[in-house]
Structure 1
Amino acid sequence: MIQRLQSVFLLLVAAAMGFTLGLDLWVQEAADSGEVWSLNALFLEQRSATGEVLQTSSNWYIAAMAAFVGLLAIISIFQYRNRGRQMMINMMNSLVMVGLVAIVFLITNSMNTELAAADNGEYQIGFWAILIAMVCNMLANRFIRKDEALIKSVDRIR
């Protein structure tokens, strides 16, 4: 059934991945030159103090992973008849999200060392959406396990 509580959490996972795709993940501002480095799901951009784009590099793999997580969450919603498969899909989703967070950390840390910045920059809403999606995915798995336990207890009573 699509109206179960885990379906709501899985929809939140898909929505959070939409935020990740559409919003910035990280921003670093150089204090001395006024240049701004920003990372979103598709590009790492360097902008001058006037807003002119100086340099861009593609990060298509971040967008691909975020879209894959959103797609898996939508697929998982419609696997309600097979709760084992639904939990397996959600566990794969969790692994991809951990990889996504690790990639963002690696990119931002390498940029901080390259820039020799005094601070580490600021993680934006797009990054925090990944972490919110991870929590929602864990909650969805918890409610799927509760449904499975309920079904097993009903079978024992018969």
Structure 2
Amino acid sequence: MIQRIQTVFLFLVAVAMSLVLAFPIWHQVNPDQSQRMTLSAFSMITMDIATGDVISSESKIVIAILAILAAGLAFFSIFQYKNRTKQMFINMINSLVMVTNVGVIVWISHNANEAFNPQVNGAFVLGFWSILVGLVMNLLANRFIRKDEMLVRSVDRIR
């Protein structure tokens, strides 16, 4: 049924993955405080802090594609409530997509940090942490789906 608690968790997964698209993921400032590098779901932008001019911009669309895919899988999983096994499988695939997204972000930010300012680590911000919140919500949804499946099987066994 669509009004189960796992539906709320899956909706929160979709919201969390939408936050990845809306907010920055990683920031870094160079040693002389004159430039700032910001990673978002769509691009990596290096800006001059004093003037606000964009020095360079690189497309990082793979992060946005993975975030949109994870949000889409979460919405699709909400409407698979009649087949709990399929719903758990979709959520497992969604977890893999989100973990892949985290891996891609860490790899991109590490490489950018090495080139920009290797003495100081950059800071992960809201966009990054929302992926981890989405991952936890996805795991909670799977737990409650599995709980429902075990309840249905126990009732069938009693009959």
Q: TM-score range by the shorter chain?
A: over 0.9
SS at match of 1:127: helix
Matched, 1:26 2:7: no
Q: Secondary structure at the match of 1:112?
A: helix
Which residue number corresponds to residue 128 of structure 2? 127
CA distance in 2, matches of 1:116, 1:76: 41
Whole-angstrom distance in 2 between the partners of 1:47 and 1:69: 30
Residue matched to 2:43: 43
Read off the aligned partner of 2:131 and give its amino acid letter. Answer: I
CA distance in 1, matches of 2:116, 2:31: 11
4+ residue runs of structure 1 moved beyond 2 angstroms? none
- Mapped partners of 1:33, 1:77: distance in 2: 46
Aligned residues of 2:29 and 2:117 also touching (Cα < 8 A)? no
Q: Tell me the percent identity.
A: 47
Distance 1:86 1:127 in 2: 25
How much has 1:146 moved relative to structure 2?
Answer: 0.1
What is the RMSD of the two structures over their aligned residues, measured on CA atoms?
0.8
Aligned counterparts of 2:53 and 2:116: Cα–Cα separation in 1: 19
Contact in 2 for aligned 1:7/1:140 (Cα 8 Å): yes
1:109 maps to which residue? 110
| Runs (5+) with no aligned partner, structure 2 | none
Give a deviation string over 1:69-98, Cα, whole Å, max 9, x none.
Answer: 000000000000000100000000000001
Judge which range, 132-141 or 31-40, deviates more.
31-40
Task: Please name the residue that 2:8 is paired with.
Answer: 8
Verify the 8 A CA contact 2:31 2:117 in the aligned structure 1. Answer: no
Q: Secondary structure, in 3 states, of the residue corresponding to 1:56?
A: strand
How many residues matched? 158
- For 1:116 and 1:58, the matched residues in 2 are separated by 20
- What TM-score do you get using the length of structure 2 for normalisation? 0.97
User: 1:20-74: per-residue Cα shift (whole Å, max 9, x none)?
Assistant: 0100000001131420000000000000022111100001111011000000000
For structure 1, which runs of at least 5 residues remain unmatched after alignment?
none
